[in-house]
Amino acid sequence: MKTFTLEEITQLTGGMLTKAQDVKITNIAPPLLSDETTLALALGEEEIANLTKSKAKAALVPLGVQIDGLTTIEVERPRLAMMKLLNLFYSAPRVYKGVHPTAVVDETAKLGTNVEIGPNVVISHDAVIGDNTKIAANSYIGGNVKIGKNCFFHANVNIGDRVQVGDDVILHHGVSLGADGFSFVTENPDNIEQARKDGEIKETNTKHVIFKIPSIGSVVIGNNVEIGANTTIDRGTIENTTIGNNTKIDDLVMIGHNCKIGEGCLIVSQVGIAGSCVIGDRVVIAGQAGLADHIEIGSDTIITAKAGVTKSFPEKSIVVGIPAMPRKDFIKQLKTMKDAQEIFAKFRKYEPLLKEFEDNINHDHNS
């Protein structure tokens, strides 16, 4: 069991200790789930109020919060302090010390020092695995793949041929890197091409054949990237699909072929990014947003949840709605709709008077 003093925790979090009593900390939890050796995490108003009902003797609280009879560690950024504490108490999943007997490692593959390979892992020809990297059970590493140092791949990760992964990368369960892009062509113009060109579908070729366009590019993942469970990133058609350093991608995200994702981006669950999009640095794309192909999103842009992005946006945009538009235009549109409702309500109120006025005019005109 991990045990820490209040002074050690205070030093780690950079907080300010107000000590009412001494206690050894063996766990962290919300106030209502804390006991006498647990540090209660009271990051918000509701949790702070719950401290009066808690069995905890010590609590992590925002700066300026002090409670009589309770030892507190005050921090300026509670969520940042919580992250440090979670890393303190976190225990990484175990893989296997060395190479598991059921793993299949090609004789041409090169494994660094302290590499851990779990059960039923397959590592193909000429793959290179960096020092201290861990690959959990049932994962597949394709030919000529290059994986950096200090990576952790959870179970059932699949990495296609020639993919490159940087240092300190975390891939969660079921991640797929390097599947072929969704790229096809027909011999004659199809419905989509007609619609894009003319705005309508004039002719239908019921016998057209769809030809697959092979993907000879690959996927390049930068350093310190984390990719969530069951996320898929397709290889490029000719160029590589790239993910920049320090970018974090949630579960169930789809990134199409040829995309270029910048550094320090946050891409939330169920986002779909179609092929050949260029995303700048520090872009936030919230849950279930969808991006059409061949668009560019400038750095420091925020795309809100469920936005349907059909065109490019410059840097520092806040993008909202379907079809997506700048936030200020969206608010203006909502205000216009509200004003229109009020105008319509007034019209309905005075509609009988208007009809009476029109009837009188018609009567005078006919008489």
Q: Which of 257, 294, 363, 365 is an active site residue?
A: 257
Q: What is the DSSP letter of 21?
A: S
Angle at 230 between CA 227 and CA 236, to 5 degrees: 70
Rounded CA-CA distance 151/129 in Å is 9
Looking at the predicted structure, is the pLDDT value of residue 361 above 90?
Answer: no
Q: Is the dihedral of CA 16, 21, 26, 32 positive or negative?
A: negative
Q: Is 196 exposed, middle or buried (0-12, 13-18, 19+ CB in 10 A)?
A: exposed
154 is catalytic: no
Comparing 216-220, 246-250, 297-301, 347-351, which segment has the lowest mean pLDDT? Answer: 347-351
Q: What is the pLDDT of residue 150?
A: 97
What mean pLDDT do residues 135-147 have?
98
Looking at the predicted structure, is the pLDDT value of residue 267 above 80?
Answer: yes
DSSP string, 154-170: -TT-EE-TT-EE-SS-E
Looking at the predicted structure, is the pLDDT value of residue 3 above 80?
Answer: yes
Looking at the predicted structure, is the pLDDT value of residue 56 above 90?
Answer: yes
What is the DSSP pairing of strand 284-285 with strand 318-320?
unpaired
Pick the more confident residue, 291 or 186: 291
Angle at 244 between CA 238 and CA 246, to 5 degrees: 155
Tell how many helices (H) and how many strands (E) occur in the chain: 5, 39
DSSP string, 229-240: TT-EEEPPSSS-
Q: What is the pLDDT of residue 341?
A: 76
What is the DSSP pairing of strand 164-165 with strand 24-25?
unpaired
Rounded CA-CA distance 43/55 in Å is 17
Rounded CA-CA distance 176/172 in Å is 10
Can you read off the two tokens belonging to residue 150?
């200090």
Query: Per-residue confidence at 203, pLDDT binned at 50, 70, 90?
Result: confident
6-13 vs 78-89: helix axis angle to the nearest 10?
120
Q: Cis omega (within 30 of 0) on the bond before 352? A: no
Looking at the predicted structure, is the pLDDT value of residue 245 above 70?
Answer: yes
Query: Per-residue confidence at 291, pLDDT binned at 50, 70, 90?
Result: very high
Q: What is the pLDDT of residue 19?
A: 87
Rounded CA-CA distance 174/127 in Å is 20
319 phi/psi in degrees, rounded to 5: -110, 130
Half-sphere exposure of 185 (CA within 13 A, CB side): 4
Q: What is the pLDDT of residue 273?
A: 98
Query: Per-residue confidence at 99, pLDDT binned at 50, 70, 90?
Result: very high
Looking at the predicted structure, is the pLDDT value of residue 87 above 70?
Answer: yes
**Residues 307-360: tens digit of each pLDDT:** 999 999 999 999 999 888 777 777 777 677 776 777 777 777 777 777 766 767
Phi-psi region for residue 272, left (φ > 0), alpha (ψ -120 to 50) or beta?
A: beta
